[in-house]
Amino acid sequence: MGKLFGTDGVRGIANTDLTGELAYRLGRAGAYVLTKETDHAPRILVGMDTRISGDMLESALVSGICSVGAHAVLAGIVPTPAVAYLVRRYGLDAGVVISASHNPVEYNGIKFFNKDGYKLHDNLEDEIEDLLFNSFDSIPQPTGALVGTKSICDDAIEDYIEFLTKSTTANLKGIKVALDCANGAAYKAAPISILNLGASMCIIHNDPDGTNINKNCGSTHMEDLKKFVVENGADIGFAFDGDADRCLAVDENGELIDGDKLLAICGLYMKNNGTLKNNTIVGTVMSNLGFILMGQKHGVNIEQANVGDRYVLEKMINGGFNIGGEQSGHIIFLDDNTTGDGVLTAIKVLTVLKESGKKASELAKVMESLPQVLVNARVNNAKKNTFMEVSEIREAIERVKELFAGEGRVLIRTSGTEPLVRVMIEGKNIELMNNEANKLALLIEKKLQ
């Protein structure tokens, strides 16, 4: 059996891949692994996004948690970073989020946080998997008064909003903000917190019905926000994904400001204010070459982690750094929270916008993005990590790397959450990059079905 956990928890089509039975087993095994060292009846915070399958999976997951004697504290619909923050604020023993982030509604996922609000290390995920597949019956089954219970946390979203509004001292009066909440978990926290800070607002895709999360909206579908910003004369726009752990922006002209540029804007602001720890911003191997050149120009060290915000976080912790993230908009402000936080990112960018007095388009000029082409090859999920074992694919990759040597770069990597192999080429000749990326992706698809 293949590895159950990807780069962001367990994910699949709800009620097919991620069934109620699997959610129960994950709740049971995860609660046991995360709380077995406690000397008290552990309490675990459970949050979810707006997907229709959330109720089904929450019920099953909570049953598993209670079956090992742990108590489930239900936060309801809250952003993923709210769970990471509230676990620490409330002094709980662990947290779980039911969400498939930016994926379509038919998907859902389960991801765990430890008592310090961090996503789990690989060794803990491996321990949970081992219990699931090899020794599930060994997990204790308390009876009587030792069985766990559930409770409702009515203050969860309000406490998270309070945290967000205290994350800046800036008064945002005079700034008009456009928001696209992806019909997801940010639909309350984002508008309320930004309004609390004094900004005026216009908003789209903020009416979740269980089935419209990420549907042609949010950070993976920026077209509506680009038009909306221009039509409403907003100073800046922000789009979140389904669980609001990522954020992308749009300037006043409707032009995209991606995660690399948001990192550059906030990182340089921190440097100028003496709060950038060890003079370093952490990106990933997918960061645009322009981001690296920005660092060189401004005397900022750029570290590159593997793709996935958990690996960015690992490098930040090991190096003593306090800002890092991905081009996709997962940005971690480690002085404030322990995971990517989309609404927090928006507030940090708005703080720079207010205090600099510049337009969003001016701030975005801090770096020039080199052209990138990204093509996804859809493959058999069980085979996606074997692409370098296929001689024809391996030789084709080497040929493309030689073709762009000295004038760009080629990066081939698997998705941690989907059955995809991603082909990324960065360079100057867009037509050549498109042709080569598509040819390589087609070959990978053909060989890995």
* pLDDT value, residue 407: 75
Rounded distance, CA 219 to CA 342, Å?
Answer: 10
CATH of the domain at 326: 3.40.120.10
Beta-strand relationship, 280-284 and 107-114 = unpaired
Please give the pLDDT value at position 217: 98
Q: Which of 348, 364, 380 is the last residue of a domain?
A: 364
Q: Do 143 and 258 share a structural domain? A: no
What's the average pLDDT block by block, 10 residues per block, for the chain (449 residues)?
A: 75 96 97 89 96 98 97 98 98 97 96 94 91 93 96 98 98 98 98 98 98 97 98 98 98 98 98 98 92 94 91 96 96 98 98 98 94 92 91 94 85 86 90 94 94
Please, what's the largest Cα pairwise distance for the chain?
Answer: 69
Question: Whole-angstrom Cα distance, residue 188 to residue 162?
Answer: 12
Place of tokens 């097919």: 16
Same domain, 285 and 412: no
SS3 of residue 11 by DSSP: strand
Is residue 1 included in any domain, yes or no? no
Q: Domain ends where: 327, 346, 364? A: 364
Tally of domains within the chain: 3
pLDDT of residue 1: 39
The residue range of the domain holding 126 is 10-156
Q: Which residues contact 101 (CB under 8 A, 6 or more apart)?
A: 8, 11, 80, 109, 241, 242, 243, 245, 246, 417
Clarify whether residues 338 and 285 are in a common domain: yes
Cα distance between residue 82 and residue 160, in whole Å: 6
Distance CA 362, CA 120 (A): 38
The reply to whether 166 falls in a domain is: no
Report pTM: 0.89
Distance from CA of residue 377 to its chain's centroid? 21
CA–CA separation, 129 and 365 (whole Å):
46
Question: If you write DSSP's letter for every residue of 335-404 in order, what string do you get?
Answer: TT-SS--HHHHHHHHHHHHHHH---HHHHHTTS-PPPEEEEEEE--GGGGGGGGGSHHHHHHHHHHHHHH
Helix axes 80-90, 342-356, angle to 10 degrees: 100
Listed residues 340, 364, 388: the one ending a domain: 364
Token couple for 172: 């945002």
- Note whether 180 and 304 are same-domain residues: yes
Q: Which residues are catalytic?
A: 101
**Opening angle at CA 304, ends 225 and 290, nearest 5:** 55
pLDDT at position 78: 98
